[in-house]
Structure 1
Amino acid sequence: MSGQAEVKVKIPFGNKYLDAIFSVPENKPTYGVILTHGAGGDMNFPHLVTLAACLASHGVLCLRFTCKGLNIAYRAKAFKTVVEYLKLYDDYKLLGVFLAGRSMGSRAAASVIRQLSQDDDDDDFIQGLVCLSYPLHRPKLQSKLRDEDLLFIRCPVLFISGSADEMCEKQLLEDVASKMKAPKKIHWVDKANHGMVVKGRTTDDVMEEINAQVFSWLRDNIKLQHK
């Protein structure tokens, strides 16, 4: 994809640094997406790399980062640090950002949005949430849902989940969505599991479907807010 650059940065986090990469569009961006990975892997997980490239090619700045650790509070703290970093980053004066994550990363993003919305200085910098393979429950443990943050969020939310995701039963997510106060959309990737693998389809083909959904939703929400 032409006209975009990747810029590596290190974001101060406590007494260490978070590795991060900006995917920068050719023209000056006005909106950005902060993107992170699931419980395993890092910011170079292929799904994140292709999504970042897709967004940058369509004029949306993407900052993806790595935060190891399986503690959700720790992951949320790191995500919040990255939000503050981007907000104060002089090279890109953005009107707003969308928080996005895969699996555990989307839980961390949801937690940050809930925290920030409860702060008094909530200033509309965060425009929405993108949940890729949101892990609504542990495999075979549908009785204990991880929905508490989702129910508090007010900004637009996009869920992209596989219809055969063992950590997000279809009916359960639809039930949670129906209780949410936020404007929301669910896109089901037919027969995909938690890792977005679909028998008989290539990874590129599945990612193309997902990336197109994310970008069209972002575009619609940016338009809605600036009519």
Structure 2
Amino acid sequence: MPVHILELELHRRPVEILVPEETNPDAPLLILAHGAGNDMHSPFLSTIADHLQEEGIQVVRFNFPYKVRGKKVPDRSEVLEDSWRAVIEWVQENLAFSGLYIGGKSMGGRIAAMIAADVSDLKGLVFLGYPLHPPGKFQEIRDIFLYPLEVPMLFIQGTRDAFARMDLLQETLNRLRDRATLHWIEGGDHSYRVLVRSGRHYPEILKNVGHLVAGWIRSVQKAPASETA
């Protein structure tokens, strides 16, 4: 699908948005943000976005200001949050879609959750490797902003992810009850990479992730409003 890059100015810092040339009012749209160490052009996000689009899910990706400036250290939290808000506002004002979903890889998904309560007509959240805690710091659980959210949430997590110990993530999702759906990527790390001896190929894993996300979005789209509120 042809796309083009737009730039928004935020706090005198540019935010780059990768947008489809045309959008379909009858198709859902997912906005994806990158993780702290990559950008919207990373093979991880690009591959998953391509598979989503093949399955009829429109995808918008964007770069936080620090990546546009070529920096490695993320912007402060307020800038990351405002970047998300600016992109969502632009999408809602300029693009056609049948349902809005937001999320992303690691930090991108976490920041999406932090501002999700302020987003009107949001259908759901997608977490591609939720960073529940820093590696090895199991007391620093980043979950408090998840519990007030009333929209469906999809978590796709590697079983070897150093940012989310399996039992701790399961405890968090148990508290979210039926709002949360979890898919484990067996043997996957924070980017779903598996050990060579597993015999599994990374492109196929990412294709499956795209399929899981697309299927979940379709199920949310079909659910009665009372079940997704």
**Pairwise CA RMSD:** 2.0
- 1:65 aligned partner: 62
Shift of 1:27: 5.3
Q: Distance in 2 between matches of 1:8 and 1:222?
A: 28
Tell me the TM-score normalised to structure 1 length.
0.87
Shift of 1:76: 1.6
Shift of 1:64: 0.1
Q: Distance in 2 between matches of 1:166 and 1:207?
A: 19
Shift of 1:29: 4.6
Shift of 1:195: 2.2
**Deviations 1:171-192 (CA, angstroms, capped at 9, x unpaired):** 1111011112661101000011
Q: Distance in 1 between matches of 2:206 and 2:111?
A: 22
Q: How many residues align?
A: 215
CA contact (8 A) 2:33 2:40 kept: yes
- Residues 12 and 59 of structure 1: is their aligned pair in 2 closer, same or farther, counting only changes over 3 Å? farther
CA contact (8 A) 1:155 1:182 kept: no
Query: What letter corresponds to residue 85 of structure 1 in structure 2?
Result: W
Q: Distance in 2 between matches of 1:178 and 1:213?
A: 20
Tell me: higher relative CO, structure 1 or 2? Use CA pairs within 8 A at least 6 residues apart. Answer: 2
Asked if residue 172 in structure 1 is aligned to residue 175 in structure 2, the reply is no
Tell me the TM-score normalised to structure 2 length.
0.87
Q: Displaced runs of 4+ in structure 1, greater than 3 A?
A: 23-30
After the TM superposition, which residues 154-165 of structure 1 pair with which residues of structure 2 at under 5 Å, given as runs?
A: 154-165=150-161
CA contact (8 A) 2:128 2:155 kept: yes
- 1:79 aligned partner: 84
Q: Which region of structure 1 is more displaced relative to structure 2, 101-110 or 201-210?
A: 201-210
**Deviations 1:80-127 (CA, angstroms, capped at 9, x unpaired):** 1100110111xx23333100110111111100113x0xxxxx642x11
Query: What letter corresponds to residue 72 of structure 1 in structure 2?
Result: S
Q: Which runs of 5+ in 2 are unaligned?
A: 67-73
Q: Which runs of 5+ in 1 are unaligned?
A: 117-121
Query: What letter corresponds to residue 190 of structure 1 in structure 2?
Result: E
After the TM superposition, which residues 83-122 of structure 1 pair with which residues of structure 2 at under 5 Å, given as runs?
A: 83-89=88-94, 92-114=95-117, 116=118
Q: Distance in 2 between matches of 1:111 and 1:144?
A: 16
CA contact (8 A) 1:10 1:19 kept: yes
After the TM superposition, which residues 1-227 of structure 1 pair with which residues of structure 2 at under 5 Å, given as runs?
A: 4-23=1-20, 29-67=26-64, 68=66, 69-89=74-94, 92-114=95-117, 116=118, 123-124=120-121, 126-180=122-176, 183-200=179-196, 201-225=200-224
